[in-house]
Amino acid sequence: MLVKQISVFLENKSGRLAEVTKILGENGINISALSIADTTDFGILRLIVNNPEKAEQVLMENGFAVSATSVIAIGVEDKPGGLSTALEILARESIGIEYVYAFVGRDGKDAYVILRVENPDKAIDVLTKNNIKVLSSSAVYEF
């Protein structure tokens, strides 16, 4: 159930994001979701792609500092309060969240959210028990 996310170190200067997406595009890698954490000097680009191993390899070959992280992806109902149900479950279990970002699925019914938590295995367990839809990695890579 764990989804492999690729993180890339980027300096805050123009053209860096374009460079990464160009390399991925040229290598036939499709991006399902992305988010950037930024500071004044640098940013960390986080990517969910259809082929994380290849993405990691081609980016490294092009001189980027890259790391892979395990995250979880959940589907929540696309209506007010949809996300809070899931987050409350995690809070009840005292599972801290490092960061969250959302992305859109192709069917348009559910909203999808990537979560980086302290204890992903435990998070998957409690979410599943509480009927929250946790997506399999293969399902996420195909979005």
Partner 1 sequence: MKYWNQTYECMTRDEMTRVQTDRLINTVKRIFHNVPFYRDKMQKAGLEPGDIKSLEDLKKLPFTYKQDLRDTYPYGLFAVPLSEIVRIHASSGTTGRQTVVGYTRRDIDTWAEVMARTLSCAGATKESFIQVAYGYGLFTGGLGVHYGAERIGASVIPISGGNTKRQLQIMKDFGTTILACTPSYALYLAEEMEEAGIRKEDLHLKAGVFGAEPWSSNMRNEIEERLGIIAIDIYGLSEVIGPGVASECHCKNGLHIPEDHFIPEIIDPVTEEVLPPGSVGELVFTTITKEGLPLLRYRTRDISSLNYEVCECGRTCVRMSKVSGRTDDMLIIRGVNVFPSQIESVLLEIGETAPHYLLIVDRVDNLDSLEVWVEMTPSLFSDEVKMIEDIEKKIRKEIEGTLGINAKVRLVEPKTIERSEGKAKRVIDRRKL
Where on the chain is the footprint of partner 1 (CB under 8 A)? 5, 7, 9-11, 16, 37, 39, 41-42, 44, 46, 63-67, 69, 98, 116
The total of other beta-carbon atoms located within 10 Å of residue 103's CB is 17
Q: Minimum distance from CB of 37 to partner 1 (Å)?
A: 5
Q: Minimum distance from CB of 65 to partner 1 (Å)?
A: 4
Pick between residue 32 and residue 116 the one whose CB is nearest to partner 1: 116
Give the per-residue SS3 of 63-96: CCCEEEEEEEEEEEECCCCHHHHHHHHHHHCCCC
Pick between residue 9 and residue 121 the one whose CB is nearest to partner 1: 9
Residue pointed to by tokens 């028990």: 129
Pick between residue 29 and residue 116 the one whose CB is nearest to partner 1: 116
Tokens of 26: 């040229």
Q: Minimum distance from CB of 70 to partner 1 (Å)?
A: 10
Tokens of 57: 């390899």
